[in-house]
């Protein structure tokens, strides 16, 4: 006799996928995070085409992901880790807003890098749109979650499958708003079937305990951009307020305005961790001395935040 059906847990966090607008033609004037995750699953046919899987839902948050907080991240990591540890759970799907999806995807990859699939999905149009993309994206995410051998943090949107750590939002409006820089997609979902041309993502996870510190005492990590007219005063203002880490979105191959460089030297001298990346939308900082050079500025911010969280507390 077959064992009990394995479960896919769908976690809701809000976003446009759960958004509604009074007018079906309105793709921008809607309110995000209005529908519960159970309604999203119902709109995606409840996963009925996956007969050997049962779906379970949990509302972890209900926010526009533009307002994402560290507290929501901490809760999401806790709930995801708890479900991934369950024997009866084979996969997780997380419905999220698109605006900060690449940050959450990177965080979950670095913290959990699970042996089971953790599939993020989202939508560019609210649930009330004439041609809402959310139900299909959720269907595709469930298809990938149920795929035999699937593993790691993934993002499924617009018919494409990305490694979570490589995800980049690169368009504010189009349905295919996401990419993965030079790495490209990992696969595609076509008519409910996954076609995959790259390996599933893997990595050495830091473990959920890394985000367990009281959120109010998390290090402060800010992003500063090098640009024409940079003068470094923003860094001095941050030093005056108190800052623990700075990500620099340099121009081109990680170049930084001389005046900003001088301010960053002052920051380093005060013990502030500085990571250099590029404001270019594609590519990596060639010859970079740390891993940040291969990340987008917002992902480099997550990396630096996690590095500081993982560091042993200062004595005294």
Non-local (6+) Cβ contacts of 267 within 8 A are 235, 238, 239, 243, 246, 274
CA angle 114, 93, 29 (to 5 degrees): 135
CB of 96 to ligand ASP, least distance (A): 7
Nearest to 101 by CA among 77, 84, 123, 74: 123
Q: Give Cα separations from 236 to 24, 54, 221, 239, 264 (angstroms).
A: 47, 54, 14, 5, 9
Match 């509604």 to its residue by tokens. Answer: 20
Q: Determine whether 16 is an active site residue.
A: yes
CB of 33 to ligand ASP, least distance (A): 7
CB of 308 to ligand ASP, least distance (A): 25
CB of 163 to ligand ASP, least distance (A): 20
Instruction: Please pick, among 16, 57, 121, 128, the residue that the annotation labels catalytic.
Output: 16
β-strand pairing of 245-250 with 221-225 = parallel
Q: Whose Cβ is closer to ligand ASP: residue 122's or residue 256's?
A: 122
Residue 238 parent element (H or E): helix 233-241
Q: Whose Cβ is closer to ligand ASP: residue 177's or residue 272's?
A: 177
Residue numbers at the binding site for ligand ASP (CB under 6 A): 14-16, 32, 64-66, 97-99, 122, 124
Cβ neighbours around 29 below 10 Å, total: 10
Residues labelled as active-site residues: 16
């Amino acid at each position: 006799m077959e064992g009990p059906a394995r479960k896919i847990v769908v976690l809701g966090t809000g976003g446009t996928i759960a958004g509604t607008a009074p007018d079906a033609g309105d793709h921008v004037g809607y309110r995000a995070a209005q529908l519960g995750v159970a309604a999203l699953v119902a709109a995606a046919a409840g996963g009925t085409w996956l007969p050997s899987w049962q779906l379970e839902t949990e509302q972890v948050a209900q926010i526009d992901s533009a307002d994402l907080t560290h507290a929501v991240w901490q809760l999401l990591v806790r709930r995801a880790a708890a479900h991934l540890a369950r024997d009866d759970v084979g996969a997780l799907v997380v419905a999220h807003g698109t605006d900060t999806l690449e940050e959450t995807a990177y965080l979950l990859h670095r913290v959990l890098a699970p042996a089971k699939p953790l599939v993020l999905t989202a939508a560019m149009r609210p649930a009330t749109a004439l041609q809402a993309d959310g139900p299909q994206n959720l269907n595709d995410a469930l298809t990938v979650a149920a795929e035999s051998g699937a593993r790691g943090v993934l993002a499924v949107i617009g018919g494409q499958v990305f490694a979570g750590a490589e995800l980049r939002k690169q368009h504010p409006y189009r349905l295919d708003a996401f990419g993965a820089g030079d790495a490209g997609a990992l696969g595609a979902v076509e008519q409910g079937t996954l076609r995959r041309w790259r390996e599933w993502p893997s990595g050495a996870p830091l473990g959920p305990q890394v985000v367990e510190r009281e959120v109010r005492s998390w290090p402060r990590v800010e992003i500063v951009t090098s640009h024409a007219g940079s003068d470094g005063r923003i860094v001095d203002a941050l030093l005056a307020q108190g800052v623990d880490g700075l990500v620099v979105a340099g121009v081109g191959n990680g170049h930084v305005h001389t005046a900003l460089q001088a301010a960053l030297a002052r920051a380093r001298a005060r013990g502030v961790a500085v990571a250099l990346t590029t404001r270019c939308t594609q590519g990596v900082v060639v010859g970079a001395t740390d891993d940040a050079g291969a990340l987008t500025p917002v992902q480099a911010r997550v990396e630096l935040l996690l590095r500081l969280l993982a560091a042993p507390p200062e004595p005294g």
